[in-house]
Amino acid sequence: MLLCLESQVQMGTQALEERFRRKYPHLRILRIDSESVADPSHAPFGCIAHLNEILTQYDLVIASPSLETGVSIDI
């Protein structure tokens, strides 16, 4: 499932990631936002180039507008 949001704050990517992890600990969750794609210690670092491969590895992907512009998802 791909959940695209309009912001990273309030009920944005980070808050929803925390909520889903608490409620559904068995899900493989990926958060894609400006912080996670810029941090080499996070899974989405550099993921835009291999997005179609990476998205299939997760049950839930929570994405901010950092994923909206110029990105093609073909899965």
Which residues, other chains included, contact 30 with Cβ-Cβ below 8 Å and sequence gap of 6+? 43, 44, 54, 55, 57, 58, 60, 61, 62
**Residue-wise pLDDT tens digits, 55-71:** 889 999 888 876 666 56
**Residue-wise pLDDT tens digits, 18-57:** 999 999 999 999 888 878 777 777 776 777 777 888 888 9
Q: Is the whole-model pTM more than 0.85?
A: no
